[in-house]
Amino acid sequence: MQASAFAPAKINLILHVRARRADGYHDLESLVSFAATGDRLTFVADSDQSLQLTGPMASALIDGGSGAGNLVTRARAVLHRHLPDLPAGGFILDKHLPVASGIGGGSADAAAALRLLADGAGIFPDHPALLRAAAEIGADVPVCLAGRSRVMYGTGADLGPPLTLPAFPALLANPGIAVPTPEVFRGLALAPGARFTPPGDMDDALPAEPEAWPGAHDRAGWIARLKAGRNDLAGPAEAIAPAIAVLRETLAACPGCLLARMSGSGATVFALFADDATRDAAAAQLHARYPEYWIAATVIGGDAG
């Protein structure tokens, strides 16, 4: 028996830092959505418990990718502690997303592994053991497991209700620079327990009620909302890697670009476009200028189907 799951790129459309907690982690509020681009994870039942890697980004995985450090392997180990009766089998990870690049590739893979293992064990994906395992594996895994646009709070385990975003033609672009997440957070220079003061005195609350957000077809309303938000990690990430700022500004200046912003702690920048034609023209322009960059033409949102 073989079963496959898509592991889409996670996009932080808005990422506000609220405070630095006593344990060193930061409380966040982030509007997260997903792209139509991602990895694919296949579970091969009754084979040995190996992890095989394929795809254009396979070689980028640390320790060759098949070791205990891979989030797929870790997802199985963590879930096994919560649910001892998991099906035997191995995984094939078809890796398309750049590694450690702010679009949650590893978290998406872990969430896909949890879904496939739960399915093999005859368990629903909203089983509490799965949710507990997801939170234990990493901050972005719960939102990836849930798989719909929504706001995540705190360090990621608290999720708001699903939101319905229009489908935006989009580009993802990565300059191939690794910006270590802890270093980016350190760049905020917040003392333990300190609240983050947003630039320009902005109220950084993201409403929890779906009714407070624009409607499923109100594209202009969504863009206005997104523009009212920020990614608070962009400043420190761009200080470490100025190429991110250049990429963001290049995308923002492309005809038809509605919004260009870094995702997560970087270095991937996403850009939303008015239509497929301007998106594709921007992709061609970017590719000609930066032939070594990873560029994916995709769609972000589209929760309404």
Is 142 among the annotated ligand-binding positions?
A: no
Is 55 among the annotated ligand-binding positions?
A: no
199/196 Cα distance (integer angstroms): 9
Site string for ligand C5P, 42-81 (x = CB under 6 A): ----------------------------------------
Nearest by Cα to 33 from 141, 151, 126, 131: 151
Supply the minimum distance, in Å, between the C-beta of residue 119 and ligand C5P.
Answer: 26
Q: From residue 279, how far is each of 4, 9, 34, 111, 276 by CA, in Å?
A: 29, 18, 17, 29, 5
Asked if 193 touches ligand C5P (CB under 6 A), the answer is no
Tokens of 167: 């489908």
Supply the minimum distance, in Å, between the C-beta of residue 275 and ligand C5P.
Answer: 34
Sign of CA dihedral 227, 232, 238, 244: negative
Site for ligand C5P in 137-176 (CB under 6 A): 138-139, 155
Q: Name the residue nearer to ligand C5P (CB basis): 28 or 269.
A: 28
Is 38 among the annotated ligand-binding positions?
A: no
H-run or E-run covering 108: helix 105-120
126: annotated active-site residue: no
Cis upstream peptide for 267 (omega within 30°) = yes
Is 147 among the annotated ligand-binding positions?
A: no
Tokens of 67: 């070791």
Residue ranges at the known binding site: 98-108
Binding site for ligand C5P (CB under 6 A): 25-26, 28, 138-139, 155, 181-182, 185
Residue ranges at the known binding site for ATP: 98-108
Active site residues: 10, 140
